[in-house]
Amino acid sequence: MVALERGEEGYEQARRDAVWNGRTPERYPDLIVLAESAEDVVAAVRLAGERGMRIGIRSGGHSWSGSHLRDGGMLLDLSRLDDIEIDRESMTAVVGPGFHSISGALEREGLFFPGGHCPGVAVGGYLLQGGFGWNGRVLGPACMSVRAIDVVTADGELLHASEDENADLLWAARGAGPGFFGVVVGFHLELYPAPGHIANTVMRFPFAMAEEVFAWAHEVAPTVAREVELNVLVHRGESGDPEITVIAPTMADSAEQAESALAFMVDCPLRDRAVETVPIVPMTLSELYDAVGQFYPEGARYGVDNMWTHASAAELMPGIEAIAATLPPAPSGMLWLNWGGASQSRPPMAFSLEDDTYIACYGVWDDAADDERNVAWAEERMRAMEHLASGAQLADENLGRRPARFMADANLQRLDELRERYDPDGRFHAWMGRLPHG
């Protein structure tokens, strides 16, 4: 275990390393602890208790807002807890919170888990906040595939939690995100066979066709096969002008199934007017990660906000047009995702908010002088569309600047009650901001 007091050599580098976003928040914990084992985590939590410190927890640091980085107290860095143990016979794995890119790692074993879309996302925060990743429309939020956790509680006790023991802790860990009141040092996951065939197809349109493109996307959305992730991106093209790219990656059992699932893209009545089309092509998971990664360059500065909605295309268009008119430079953009709500029953879990459509704004830039303008862009664009939102997703949350509903009221109330029981002294920081539950 490495412990760095504020002002000590190595502290500032550790503080900056703890946030993936190049825009490191100006918040300074008194102590940064880099844990290397579950025993280190137990010792760190007990030390925090002795010193009256509150704790922020970092797994991979991929939180856009850096919600784990707070002023004062302790930053407990779990990035070195990055082991994985795979049991092929039982189709399970035990994974440390700092383990990165789990889908890619399992691909080499012929196995699959619905890991995050962005390369480099560690499992800790991803699973705690719900986990929207590859093939999630089929398998559900990734937290549904968490069968048990090993967790250090506020009093420094290491517990195992499953649906048979300490079930309240597992329930809370499935969706509480930064509001979880413990430190997960191991996730016990259900694994799946690797997809038999991955494919993708693309259409690109001028933004002048936005009304027609989004009307079509909303019309076909309910009929799109669950194994297809229909995305509509608004971004700046090579000319610098806003444009629309429609992509539809699919994870199918066979090439024939993929072709059938993607027929709606081939048959799109707007296809002949696209400025570019890419036919259905086979892809690897690594190639999908590379395609996503171009929109999220490492070291860039980010400002992000999001919303869930079931509003119609016509209702959303004024907001989408305002987004396009105010887009920061590339690769900033807006994502429209056809989620389609729940397709299956959900296990007991705190996670409880999803809707037909997911919309998120991602400001991406390099110059610190542009920070406030670009951070405000995502916030203001989502604020202007709040009347059409059913809530927000914790993965791309902006709660410190724009509080939003992210969980069903009854679930949030239960979570608060469990926090009072398991963390009565408020040892762990919760969300940076929130709306009162009903």
Cα separation, 355 vs 357, whole angstroms: 6
Domain end point (choices 35, 61, 77): 77
Cα separation, 80 vs 97, whole angstroms: 9
- 60 and 129 fall within a common domain: no
Residue 59: give its domain's CATH number: 3.30.43.10
The residues, ordered by sequence, that sit 6+ positions from 50 with a Cβ below 8 Å of its Cβ are none
Domain end point (choices 178, 194, 210): 194
Cα separation, 171 vs 174, whole angstroms: 5
- 240 and 384 fall within a common domain: yes
* 305 burial via Cβ count (<10 Å: 0-12, 13-18, 19+): buried
Within 234-345, residue ranges assigned H as helices are 255-261, 263-266, 285-293, 313-325
- 54 and 123 fall within a common domain: no
- 62 and 106 fall within a common domain: no
For 106, the token pair is 């399992």
Residue 309: give its domain's CATH number: 3.40.462.20
The residues, ordered by sequence, that sit 6+ positions from 307 with a Cβ below 8 Å of its Cβ are 358, 359, 360, 382, 385, 386, 388, 389, 390, 391, 392, 404
Q: Is residue 20 part of a domain?
A: yes
Measure Cα distances from 369 to 157, 304, 326, 372, 413 in Å. Answer: 45, 17, 18, 8, 41
Domain end point (choices 194, 212, 236): 194
Whole-number pLDDT of residue 435: 56
Whole-number pLDDT of residue 438: 40
Name the DSSP class of 122: B
- 227 and 134 fall within a common domain: no
Cα separation, 76 vs 56, whole angstroms: 6
Q: Is residue 18 part of a domain?
A: yes
Are 235 and 272 in contact by the 8 Å Cβ rule? The answer is no
- 118 and 174 fall within a common domain: yes
Q: Is residue 437 part of a domain?
A: no
* 300 burial via Cβ count (<10 Å: 0-12, 13-18, 19+): middle
Q: Cis bond leading into 424, ω under 30°? A: no
Residue 188: give its domain's CATH number: 3.30.465.10
Whole-number pLDDT of residue 105: 85
The pTM (predicted TM-score) of the whole model is 0.96
- 208 and 331 fall within a common domain: yes
Place of tokens 């509080």: 403
Place of tokens 């893209």: 265
Q: Is residue 408 part of a domain?
A: no
Q: Is residue 419 part of a domain?
A: no
Number of structural domains found in the chain: 3
- 277 and 163 fall within a common domain: no
Residue 237, CB-side half-sphere exposure with 13 Å CA sphere: 12
Cα separation, 67 vs 400, whole angstroms: 8
Residue 17 domain boundaries: 2-77
- 7 and 62 fall within a common domain: yes
The residues, ordered by sequence, that sit 6+ positions from 311 with a Cβ below 8 Å of its Cβ are 357, 388
- Residues of the chain under the 70 pLDDT cut: 434-438
- 249 and 342 fall within a common domain: yes
- 386 and 273 fall within a common domain: yes
Place of tokens 């705190």: 350
